[in-house]
Protein backbone atom coordinates (compact mmCIF):
# COMPACT_ATOMS: atom_id res chain seq x y z
CA UNK A 1 0.00 0.00 0.00
CA UNK A 2 1.48 3.29 -1.05
CA UNK A 3 0.66 6.51 0.81
CA UNK A 4 3.57 7.92 -1.14
CA UNK A 5 4.43 11.41 -2.26
CA UNK A 6 6.68 12.94 0.32
CA UNK A 7 6.51 9.60 2.09
CA UNK A 8 4.62 8.48 5.07
CA UNK A 9 7.84 8.05 7.01
CA UNK A 10 9.67 11.35 7.39
CA UNK A 11 12.84 9.77 6.04
CA UNK A 12 13.48 10.04 2.33
CA UNK A 13 14.58 7.02 0.41
CA UNK A 14 17.73 6.93 -1.67
CA UNK A 15 15.56 6.37 -4.73
CA UNK A 16 13.40 9.31 -3.79
CA UNK A 17 16.37 11.58 -3.54
CA UNK A 18 17.82 10.46 -6.85
CA UNK A 19 14.60 10.61 -8.79
CA UNK A 20 13.55 13.97 -7.42
CA UNK A 21 16.91 15.35 -8.41
CA UNK A 22 16.58 13.94 -11.91
CA UNK A 23 13.12 15.42 -12.25
CA UNK A 24 14.23 18.85 -11.12
CA UNK A 25 17.18 18.74 -13.48
CA UNK A 26 14.92 17.81 -16.40
CA UNK A 27 12.32 20.37 -15.38
CA UNK A 28 14.97 23.08 -15.33
CA UNK A 29 15.73 22.30 -18.95
CA UNK A 30 12.12 22.38 -20.00
CA UNK A 31 10.79 25.27 -17.92
CA UNK A 32 13.75 27.50 -18.71
CA UNK A 33 13.22 27.20 -22.42
CA UNK A 34 9.43 27.13 -22.63
CA UNK A 35 8.14 28.91 -19.57
CA UNK A 36 5.68 27.41 -17.13
CA UNK A 37 2.56 27.34 -19.25
CA UNK A 38 4.49 26.33 -22.33
CA UNK A 39 5.98 23.28 -20.68
CA UNK A 40 4.25 19.95 -20.31
CA UNK A 41 4.63 17.22 -17.74
CA UNK A 42 5.21 14.77 -20.57
CA UNK A 43 8.20 16.77 -21.79
CA UNK A 44 9.69 16.83 -18.32
CA UNK A 45 9.00 13.14 -17.78
CA UNK A 46 10.63 12.24 -21.07
CA UNK A 47 13.65 14.43 -20.33
CA UNK A 48 13.93 12.74 -16.96
CA UNK A 49 13.64 9.32 -18.54
CA UNK A 50 10.54 8.17 -16.77
CA UNK A 51 6.82 7.81 -17.33
CA UNK A 52 4.44 10.62 -16.53
CA UNK A 53 2.64 8.80 -13.71
CA UNK A 54 5.98 7.87 -12.26
CA UNK A 55 7.01 11.51 -12.24
CA UNK A 56 3.71 12.45 -10.65
CA UNK A 57 4.48 9.97 -7.91
CA UNK A 58 7.27 12.28 -6.76
CA UNK A 59 5.65 15.63 -7.45
CA UNK A 60 1.90 15.84 -7.15
CA UNK A 61 1.53 18.61 -9.71
CA UNK A 62 3.38 20.54 -12.37
CA UNK A 63 3.26 23.57 -10.12
CA UNK A 64 4.96 21.69 -7.29
CA UNK A 65 7.98 21.02 -9.48
CA UNK A 66 8.08 24.60 -10.62
CA UNK A 67 7.77 26.04 -7.16
CA UNK A 68 10.62 23.98 -5.78
CA UNK A 69 12.79 24.92 -8.73
CA UNK A 70 12.03 28.61 -8.38
CA UNK A 71 12.74 28.56 -4.66
CA UNK A 72 16.15 27.03 -5.21
CA UNK A 73 17.09 29.40 -7.98
CA UNK A 74 15.89 32.45 -6.12
CA UNK A 75 18.14 31.54 -3.23
CA UNK A 76 21.36 30.83 -5.11
CA UNK A 77 20.69 33.70 -7.47
CA UNK A 78 21.06 36.20 -4.68
CA UNK A 79 24.27 34.75 -3.30
CA UNK A 80 26.49 37.32 -4.99
CA UNK A 81 24.43 40.21 -3.69
CA UNK A 82 24.47 38.76 -0.19
CA UNK A 83 28.24 38.60 -0.39
CA UNK A 84 28.38 42.29 -1.11
CA UNK A 85 30.40 43.58 1.82
CA UNK A 86 29.89 46.95 3.45
CA UNK A 87 33.36 46.80 4.98
CA UNK A 88 35.08 46.04 1.71
CA UNK A 89 36.65 48.40 -0.78
CA UNK A 90 33.95 49.88 -3.05
CA UNK A 91 35.89 49.33 -6.24
CA UNK A 92 36.75 45.74 -5.38
CA UNK A 93 33.23 44.96 -4.19
CA UNK A 94 31.48 46.29 -7.26
CA UNK A 95 34.04 44.75 -9.56
CA UNK A 96 33.69 41.35 -7.98
CA UNK A 97 29.92 41.58 -7.88
CA UNK A 98 29.85 42.17 -11.61
CA UNK A 99 32.30 39.36 -12.22
CA UNK A 100 30.33 36.90 -10.13
CA UNK A 101 27.02 37.76 -11.72
CA UNK A 102 28.61 37.36 -15.14
CA UNK A 103 30.04 33.99 -14.18
CA UNK A 104 26.61 32.88 -13.08
CA UNK A 105 25.14 33.97 -16.40
CA UNK A 106 27.81 31.90 -18.12
CA UNK A 107 27.63 28.83 -15.91
CA UNK A 108 23.93 28.74 -15.04
CA UNK A 109 22.05 30.18 -17.98
CA UNK A 110 19.08 27.90 -17.49
CA UNK A 111 18.58 29.15 -13.97
CA UNK A 112 18.71 32.71 -15.21
CA UNK A 113 16.17 32.00 -17.93
CA UNK A 114 13.85 30.22 -15.56
CA UNK A 115 13.85 33.29 -13.40
CA UNK A 116 13.48 35.64 -16.35
CA UNK A 117 10.54 33.65 -17.64
CA UNK A 118 8.86 33.90 -14.29
CA UNK A 119 9.34 37.66 -14.02
CA UNK A 120 8.34 38.24 -17.62
CA UNK A 121 5.04 36.51 -17.05
CA UNK A 122 4.31 38.74 -14.11
CA UNK A 123 5.92 36.65 -11.36
CA UNK A 124 2.63 34.97 -10.47
CA UNK A 125 4.33 32.49 -8.14
CA UNK A 126 6.89 34.66 -6.38
CA UNK A 127 5.51 38.16 -6.04
CA UNK A 128 5.61 37.89 -2.26
CA UNK A 129 9.24 36.87 -2.21
CA UNK A 130 10.14 39.78 -4.45
CA UNK A 131 8.36 42.29 -2.25
CA UNK A 132 9.66 40.66 0.91
CA UNK A 133 13.11 39.06 1.17
CA UNK A 134 14.41 40.40 -2.14
CA UNK A 135 13.40 43.98 -1.44
CA UNK A 136 14.88 43.80 2.04
CA UNK A 137 18.20 42.54 0.76
CA UNK A 138 18.38 45.21 -1.92
CA UNK A 139 17.37 47.90 0.56
CA UNK A 140 20.21 46.83 2.80
CA UNK A 141 22.81 46.86 0.06
CA UNK A 142 21.51 50.12 -1.35
CA UNK A 143 22.22 51.67 2.02
CA UNK A 144 25.78 50.37 1.85
CA UNK A 145 26.28 52.02 -1.51
CA UNK A 146 24.78 55.25 -0.24
CA UNK A 147 27.16 55.21 2.69
CA UNK A 148 30.08 54.85 0.29
CA UNK A 149 28.83 57.87 -1.62
CA UNK A 150 28.47 59.88 1.59
CA UNK A 151 32.03 58.94 2.51
CA UNK A 152 33.15 60.26 -0.88
CA UNK A 153 34.42 56.89 -1.99
CA UNK A 154 32.13 56.79 -4.98
CA UNK A 155 30.11 59.23 -7.04
CA UNK A 156 26.64 59.73 -5.71
CA UNK A 157 24.12 57.81 -7.77
CA UNK A 158 20.84 56.03 -7.29
CA UNK A 159 21.90 52.72 -5.73
CA UNK A 160 18.75 50.90 -6.80
CA UNK A 161 19.26 51.71 -10.43
CA UNK A 162 22.91 50.82 -10.09
CA UNK A 163 21.92 47.37 -8.91
CA UNK A 164 19.26 47.07 -11.61
CA UNK A 165 21.79 47.95 -14.27
CA UNK A 166 24.24 45.33 -13.05
CA UNK A 167 21.49 42.72 -13.01
CA UNK A 168 20.38 43.70 -16.49
CA UNK A 169 23.78 43.81 -18.13
CA UNK A 170 25.00 40.55 -16.69
CA UNK A 171 21.86 38.45 -17.01
CA UNK A 172 21.49 39.69 -20.56
CA UNK A 173 24.23 37.28 -21.57
CA UNK A 174 22.18 34.35 -20.31
CA UNK A 175 18.65 35.46 -21.11
CA UNK A 176 19.34 36.94 -24.53
CA UNK A 177 22.10 34.52 -25.42
CA UNK A 178 20.58 33.67 -28.81
CA UNK A 179 20.53 37.31 -29.79
CA UNK A 180 24.02 37.99 -28.50
CA UNK A 181 25.38 35.05 -30.50
CA UNK A 182 23.47 36.04 -33.61
CA UNK A 183 24.81 39.59 -33.52
CA UNK A 184 28.39 38.65 -32.69
CA UNK A 185 28.38 36.05 -35.46
CA UNK A 186 30.01 32.68 -35.44
CA UNK A 187 33.53 33.99 -35.52
CA UNK A 188 33.11 34.52 -31.81
CA UNK A 189 31.72 31.09 -31.24
CA UNK A 190 33.59 30.33 -28.04
CA UNK A 191 33.09 31.71 -24.58
CA UNK A 192 35.23 34.71 -25.38
CA UNK A 193 32.22 36.97 -25.34
CA UNK A 194 32.05 36.60 -21.56
CA UNK A 195 35.58 37.86 -21.19
CA UNK A 196 34.91 40.72 -23.57
CA UNK A 197 31.76 41.55 -21.66
CA UNK A 198 33.63 41.48 -18.36
CA UNK A 199 36.24 43.85 -19.72
CA UNK A 200 33.63 46.19 -21.13
CA UNK A 201 31.44 46.26 -18.03
CA UNK A 202 34.38 46.81 -15.76
CA UNK A 203 35.44 49.79 -17.82
CA UNK A 204 31.88 51.10 -18.03
CA UNK A 205 31.24 50.98 -14.32
CA UNK A 206 34.67 52.24 -13.36
CA UNK A 207 35.05 55.10 -15.80
CA UNK A 208 32.02 55.42 -18.03
CA UNK A 209 32.69 56.16 -21.64
CA UNK A 210 34.79 59.16 -20.71
CA UNK A 211 33.43 61.23 -23.50
CA UNK A 212 35.59 64.20 -24.28
CA UNK A 213 34.21 67.48 -25.46
CA UNK A 214 35.39 68.41 -28.93
Partner DNA sequence: GTAATGTTTTACCAATCGGTCAAATTATCG
Partner DNA sequence: CGATAATTTGACCGATTGGTAAAACATTAC
Interior angle at CA 148, CA 143 and CA 150, nearest 5: 90
Chain-centroid distance of CA 89 in Å reads 25
Residues 97, 166 contacting (CB under 8 angstroms):
yes
Instruction: State the minimum distance, in angstroms, from the CB of residue 110 to DNA.
Output: 19
Among 28, 119, 104, which residue's Cα sits nearest to residue 68?
28
Binding residue for DNA, selected from 13, 179, 188, 203, defined by CB under 7 A:
13
Q: What is the largest CA-CA distance in the chain?
A: 82
Instruction: State the minimum distance, in angstroms, from the CB of residue 53 to DNA.
Output: 3
Of 9-17, 74-82, 108-116, 139-147, which segment contacts DNA by CB under 7 A? 9-17
For the chain, strand residue ranges (E) read none
What is the 3-state composition of the chain as percent helix, strand, coil, each rounded to the nearest 5?
75, 0, 25
Interior angle at CA 182, CA 177 and CA 186, nearest 5: 105
Count of residues interacting with DNA (CB under 7 A): 28
Q: Rule CB under 7 A: is residue 179 a binding residue for DNA? A: no
CA distances from 212 to 205, 208, 209 (A): 17, 11, 9
52 binds, among DNA, its own copies, none (CB under 5 to 8 A by kind): DNA
50 binds, among DNA, its own copies, none (CB under 5 to 8 A by kind): DNA
Q: Which is nearer to DNA, 23 or 138 (CB)?
A: 23
Write each residue from 42 to 81 as x if it is in contact with its own copies (CB under 8 A), else as -, in one continuous string: ----------------------------------------
In order, the DSSP letters of 167-194 are HHHHHHHHHTHHHHHHHH-GGG-SSHHH
Residue 181 half-sphere exposure toward CB, CA atoms < 13 A? 10
Q: Rule CB under 7 A: is residue 19 a binding residue for DNA? A: yes
Q: Rule CB under 7 A: is residue 63 a binding residue for DNA? A: yes
Binding residue for DNA, selected from 25, 29, 57, 100, defined by CB under 7 A:
57
208 binds, among its own copies, DNA, none (CB under 5 to 8 A by kind): its own copies
Instruction: State the minimum distance, in angstroms, from the CB of residue 204 to its own copies.
Output: 6
In the complex, the residues that contact DNA under the rule CB under 7 A are 1-4, 7-9, 13-16, 19, 39-43, 50-54, 56-57, 60-63
Amino acid sequence: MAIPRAAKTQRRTRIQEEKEERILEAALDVFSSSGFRGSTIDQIAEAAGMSKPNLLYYFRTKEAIHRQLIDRVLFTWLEPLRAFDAEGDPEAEIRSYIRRKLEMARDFPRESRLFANEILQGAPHIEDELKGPLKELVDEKAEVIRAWARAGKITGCDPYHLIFSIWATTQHYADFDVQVRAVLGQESAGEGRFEDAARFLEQLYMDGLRIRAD
